Chain A
């Protein structure tokens, strides 16, 4: 038997250095980089570097040998080699000024086809959606770029087109869920096919050049090259899922022949599409309504109502409400406000929007339109104002979407100091301690009760009457608003409420009529009897037996613990422990706060008492002096 040599098996053969891979694939380093990025083959870190590098200890870039062998099969390797040939031949033509040949060569430029790679890297559509975060952020960023040395203008134009198409989908499907303005840019989160897709849109500022020391533009450009293809196919599928024509087109009703349209139809249409303010051409005639969701929820009801299902139902209701959040509202965007993010938000929740026609084409109505309900402004004051509309700052829209309800606009009025803009990505129903200020921001009802209790306790605080008055006014406003929302929540929609009530009344009325006609006497008798029986008794407060509740909870917990499979026992214990620690932390923090507040209150009281005493003493002195 042959004696086995060192580094002929095991880890040494599993890895291959980049140089060796280049030699094997017969590509230049640049081509290899490109191929790897396009195919999604990335360098690896071995477990034992010395073994993988056949004894050498310097840190090399290593790849899996299997990966490189996989690249050998790729058809674009041949295209990359063709590039080299193309470059040689065309440069020769250029040198000898054989422009006829050069033109012919350029027409036959070997283009890389990436369709099969997209399919290969994302075997299912859901896989592609899962990886859309990175893709969208990068493309939104590149769509703002001018033509740079390593980024051709066509690429940034293509990025712009694809992102606009995607936004059209988001608007049409009403899948936007969360929005956030950060110092990095605008965060958007949409739910597409059950996947949460998050992306960042950069702030709309003039382009700032990026130093090439920090970022490798060539590499980023290659990533974008792949992502454009991927987003193209994703858009195609998404559009077809909604029965929209792809590439997006206008219905002929919108496009009327006038001077502008006839002059340059293509640019006219692309401008209107980029404005995001019009419905797109559908492949089917019927406007589909969202009935599927209701059906799903009904089916779920049969399974009984465990906590999870109740939660899901609530979520579904909230989402349904969110989708029509701005329905019936008419917005006008002032010129200093960034147009695109606001248009996306307003349109995807059913609102109507327009802007000054001189900023961007595609505005629907003028500023002087009296039916406008909200005008979005971002400046301290405004010259002419209409009474019929609210002048609000853009944050109102973002906060409304994040809280899934229309907030009172008074805090967001023109020139008002805005309340903090909270991140929707932090779970507001998290188990940890939430300070009452944040709670109040999320649910205005809490702050009110807090203030009221303060007032009732502190009887001495009658001096600050003005402020109290204002607070009271605010509180009243909020109370009214709460009642509204409570009603809304109860019945799940304004329209539903009215109809139901009317129906009930109608039924009652008709019943009454019949009774009166047929059996007047009997009814009267019965009524009398009932009246005699009837008496008003003081109501009893339903008492909850705390012990019993606790016992039931403990029992349930025990049952749960018993149901856990043995292999999951450790996990279960861990979860329980985590929950306990969290609860304890929360309790501690709350206690801390309580003690601090109590101390503060005590201090205030003593201060007041002393002040009063001093005043009394001073008064006595004054009286003495007077005597």
Chain B
């Protein structure tokens, strides 16, 4: 496709093969054809008028370059047709060969609400208009109410109010409408009277709702009260320690400790348990080869009993039954003498049962005061708040507050069965590995640098001592 330079001799090319023919330069022909097609599309220069071809330049030579802000540029760009739609634009000058087409009448996108508001034509438009008016009046009311400070309570809700008063038709002074009928009507009107069932008001725990403080919690307690409180705390703590020790005893310290070598040895032994067995088995099998073969699961044989055997069996059974009967009779006669001791036994048994009943009752009674198990976690009594003797200042200025009141309230709600006990779950953040880029690293100090520095320092010291000597 390189243009042929004048003066250079054309190289003779063989035209033997089809591939050789391809090398022939047909550019001039194609150029000509292309020009012709273009003329067909946009017309020849000759056809065009001068005005079409040329434009009088009326603008001054150098137009002021206005600096547009980003926002203005965006605005201008927004006016342009979209880039993505450019491909759809018909740039061809070739006339549409099919003159008559079915023109699709374009529908307007969506409703023209303004039109509907201004001149409603349909009943639904009118409905919508009235709804809209209600909405906006409500909005205005709300905004006004927000401006003027609202009061939380503006009525006495505990005043006795009959639901019938709120519904105009149901007000009857003559007693013609029964209460049941009124209830029924109210439900059908859409103002149903909902009854609260009594179990909502039932207490689920017998424990006190608001715990009064222990006298030892005073900011300046008397020594006795304070001691009593501390004793309480100590008792609790001792209980916890005892439990911990018990757990340790039955778990960790139950197993003897071994040296690491011993452990490794045991591990090896355990891991190689099957291997040795197999070897032994193989050896055993080798030994067994001499003995006759025995199956492990021998087939079951259905051996029939002989008639005599059956008869004997029956006889034996009968005999056994009779001896048992005799034994029982004998026991009964013997028990006649034992009546007193039997009575004692029975009494003991009854006493035991009563004891059990009592204990169960006690446990049930105690459980009434304890928090219920509402969720996965068990409620654990929080620590008692106490000031240690050295923290008691004796005056209000230096009081050391011991507890968080919020935590206290939260635990109280849990203890009163109002909240299930929960444990806060914190989501673990993914660990981000941090490192400094090589390009940002500070140049480190090499061993050689340090050595040099030390030398310089030593030299300086020498000079210093020298001067002092002088």
Against A, the Cβ 8 Å flags (1 = close, 0 = not) of B187-213 are 000001010110110001000011011
B215 at the interface (CB under 8 A from A): yes
What residues of A have a CB within 8 angstroms of the CB of B209 in the complex?
131, 133-134
Residues in A with CB closer than 8 Å to B152 are 158, 162, 228-229, 232-233
Contacts of A337 in B (CB 8 A): 396
Q: Which residues of B contact A418 (CB under 8 A)?
A: 220, 394-395
Q: Are A198 and B424 neighbours in the complex by a CB distance under 8 Å?
A: no
Bound-state CA distance A214–B383 (Å) is 13
Residues from chain B with a CB closer than 8 A to the CB of A121 are 200
Q: How far is the CA of A435 from the CA of B225 in the complex (A)?
A: 11
Which chain A residue has the least Cβ–Cβ distance from B196? Answer: A120
Instruction: Please tell me if A596 contacts chain B, counting CB pairs below 8 Å.
Output: no
Instruction: Give residues 14-67 of A contacting B (CB, 8 Å).
Output: 37, 40-45, 58-62, 64, 66-67
CB proximity of B148 to chain A, nearest CB, Å: 12
Closest B residue, CB atoms, query A116: B157
Q: Say which residue of A137, A393, A422 sits within 8 Å of B222 (CB atoms).
A: A422
Do residues B396 and A184 form an inter-chain contact, with CB atoms below 8 A?
no
A203, B403: Cα distance in complex, Å: 11
Contact indicator per residue, chain B 9-49, by CB within 8 Å of chain A (1) or not (0): 00000000000000000000000000000000000000000
Q: Which of A218-277 contact B (CB under 8 A)?
A: 219-220, 223, 228-229, 232-233, 235-237, 240, 246-247
A237/B397 in contact, CB under 8 A: no
Given contacts A70-B200, A200-B405, A393-B395, contact A420 B151 (CB under 8 A): no
Question: Which of A204-212, A444-452, A604-612 sits within the interface?
Answer: A204-212
- Report yes or no: B200 in contact with A40, Cβ–Cβ below 8 A: yes
Asked if A423 contacts B402 (CB within 8 A), the reply is no
The residue that B413 contacts in the complex, of A210, A223, A237, A240, with Cβ under 8 A, is A223
Least distance between A546 CB and chain B CB atoms (Å): 34
9-residue interface stretch from A175-183, A473-481, A576-584: A175-183
Provide the residues of chain B in CB contact with A408, threshold 8 Å: none
Closest Cβ of chain B: how far from A156's Cβ, in Å?
13
Compute how far the CA of A42 lies from the CA of B210 in the bound complex, rounded to whole angstroms.
18
Tell me the minimal C-beta distance from A23 to chain B in angstroms: 19
Q: Contacts of B116 on A, CB cut-off 8 Å?
A: none
Q: By the criterion CB–CB under 8 Å, are A213 and B399 in contact?
A: no
- Which residues of B have CB within 8 Å of A198? 210, 212
**Cβ–Cβ < 8 Å partners of B200 in chain A:** 40-41, 67, 70, 121
Contact A214 B424 (CB under 8 A): yes
9 tightest A-B contacts by CB?
A232-B152, A423-B215, A232-B153, A420-B222, A45-B372, A133-B210, A236-B153, A425-B212, A421-B220
- One digit per residue, 1 when the CB lies within 8 angstroms of any chain A CB and 0 when it does not, for chain B 131-154 equals 000000011001100100001111
Contact A180 B397 (CB under 8 A): no
Whether B404 lies near A208 (C-beta < 8 A) is yes
Is B213's CB under 8 angstroms from A336's CB? no
Name the B residues within 8 Å of A138 (CB-CB): 409
Q: Does B338 contact A (CB under 8 A)?
A: no
**A531 on interface, CB distance cutoff 8 Å:** no
**22 CB-based A-B contacts, threshold 8 Å:** A44-B372, A45-B372, A60-B375, A62-B374, A64-B199, A66-B197, A107-B143, A116-B157, A134-B409, A137-B405, A141-B405, A185-B405, A203-B401, A210-B404, A213-B426, A215-B407, A216-B419, A229-B152, A233-B158, A418-B395, A421-B219, A422-B215
- Which of A116, A133, A202, A233 contacts B405 (CB under 8 A)? A202
Instruction: Report if A351 contacts B (CB, 8 A).
Output: no
Q: Does A379 contact B (CB under 8 A)?
A: yes
Interface contacts beyond A181-B396, A183-B399, A237-B156: sample of 13 additional A-B pairs, CB < 8 Å, sorted by A: A70-B194, A107-B139, A108-B142, A134-B409, A141-B409, A183-B400, A219-B413, A220-B406, A233-B157, A421-B220, A422-B222, A425-B213, A437-B222
- Residues in A lying within 8 Å of B, measured CB to CB: 37, 40-45, 58-62, 64, 66-67, 70, 73, 104, 107-108, 115-116, 118-122, 124-125, 128, 131, 133-134, 137-138, 141, 158, 162, 180-185, 187, 198, 200, 202-203, 205, 208, 210, 212-216, 219-220, 223, 228-229, 232-233, 235-237, 240, 246-247, 336-338, 378-379, 393-395, 417-418, 420-423, 425-426, 435, 437-438, 441
Assess the B418–A42 pair: CB atoms within 8 A.
yes
Is A61 in contact with B420, judged by CB distance below 8 angstroms?
yes
Cβ contacts under 8 Å, B221 to chain A: 420-421
A107 to B145, CA, bound (A): 10
**Residues of B contacting A73 in the complex (Cβ-Cβ under 8 angstroms):** 192, 194
CB distance from A571 to the nearest CB of B (A): 15
Which residue of B151, B204, B396 contacts A44 across the interface (Cβ within 8 Å)? B204
List the B side residues contacting A240 at CB < 8 Å: 156
Give the chain A neighbours of B424 by CB distance below 8 A: 212-214, 216
Known: A180-B213, A182-B219. A393 touches B396 (CB 8 A): yes
| CB closest chain-B residue, reference A198 | B210
Q: Which residues of A contact B354 (CB under 8 A)?
A: none
- B182 within 8 Å of A (CB atoms): no
How many A-B contacts if CB must be within 8 Å? 211
CB-based nearest A residue for B213: A182
B binding-site residues for A, Cβ under 8 Å? 138-139, 142-143, 146, 151-158, 192, 194, 196-197, 199-200, 204, 209-210, 212-215, 217-225, 372-376, 385-387, 394-397, 399-410, 412-413, 417-420, 422, 424, 426
A556 to chain B minimum Cβ distance, whole angstroms, is 33
B204 touches A124 (CB 8 A): no
Contact of B375 with A214 in the complex, beta carbons under 8 Å: no
Count chain A CB atoms within 10 A of each CB in B156, B224, B405, B409 and give the residue with the most.
Answer: B405
Task: Establish whether residues A134 and B412, one from each chain, have CB atoms under 8 Å apart when the complex forms.
Answer: yes
Which residue from chain B places its CB closest to the CB of A124 in the assembled complex? B158
Q: Report chain B residues within 8 Å CB of A141.
A: 405-406, 409
Contact status A70-B196, CB under 8 Å: yes
- Please indicate the chain B residues that have their CB under 8 angstroms from the CB of A182 in the complex: 213, 217-219
Chain A residues closer than 8 Å to B401, beta-carbon distance: 183-185, 202-203, 205
Asked if A66 and B199 make an inter-chain contact with CB atoms under 8 angstroms apart, the answer reads: yes
Is there contact, CB below 8 Å, between B407 and A187?
A: no
- Contact across chains for A379 and B139 when beta carbons are under 8 A apart: no
Task: Identify which of A119, A131, A183, A215 contacts B219 (C-beta below 8 A).
Answer: A183
Contact present for B217 and A426 (CB under 8 Å) = no
User: Which residues on B sit within 8 Å (CB–CB) of A131?
Assistant: 209
**What is the CB-to-nearest-CB distance from B391 to chain A, in angstroms, rounded to a whole number?**
9
Task: Name which of B142, B152, B373, B422 has the most chain A CB atoms within 10 A of its CB.
Answer: B152
B218 near A180: Cβ-Cβ < 8 Å:
yes
Q: How far is the CB of A187 from chain B (nearest CB, A)?
A: 6
CA distance A104 to B143 in the complex (A): 10
